[in-house]
Structure 1
Amino acid sequence: MKHTLMSGFSFLHLPFKWTYREHKGQMSTFITVIGTLGAIALLIAYGLVSTAKMTGDSLAYQAINLGGALALAVNSGYHGAWPSAILNIVWTAIGVFTVGRFVARKAARTP
């Protein structure tokens, strides 16, 4: 019997069966889309700050950076590009810290 990813769920009577290779290909495509969206987000944020349409100390800029870096960290880690993954993990940590400061300041101002 050929082992498939969904073979343990035969009671579902699905009209298809995913092989591991098909699943891996779909996951790779999904991860690539996530990484591409992360790169686009970082480029948009950089472009907005560079053209003075957004400030580097704004919550929007920090949130875009956080999301973009997280997406690229996932993509880089999945593909084994460890220097890029580590860079983006650190970038994400900085984003989490900075967004956390924004949230804490806002909470302190709210009565």
Structure 2
Amino acid sequence: MKTINDKPFKENQSIELAVGSFIITTVLFVLYIILNESPNVLVIAWPFALSAIIVNLIMFFHLTDKFIHLPQQRKEIGIKILLLLSNIPVTFVYYLIVMRL
């Protein structure tokens, strides 16, 4: 007998991670611009960026696993995956701007 899981997918950590990563990355980018390309900001920003990539990848794999195993909640999980992945182009644009300055 197959169990039907009709409960909504209640995982808010992925949204908090995506929004938190976006806010911190944006704050570091603005600080870098405001402080006239201070290398001190990069000392903080590069380790943060590396750790954010690792943590976001872990969350992406977790959501992908849930997407595969919970077909009833694929819409909600798919939206959370897209929100998490939306940080990639934003961070890439910040990176391009910093490298051109």
Q: TM-score range by the shorter chain?
A: 0.3 to 0.5
Higher percent of residues as helix:
2
Rg bigger for which structure? Answer: 1
With structure 2 as the length reference, what TM-score do the two structures score?
Answer: 0.42
TM-score by length of 1: 0.40
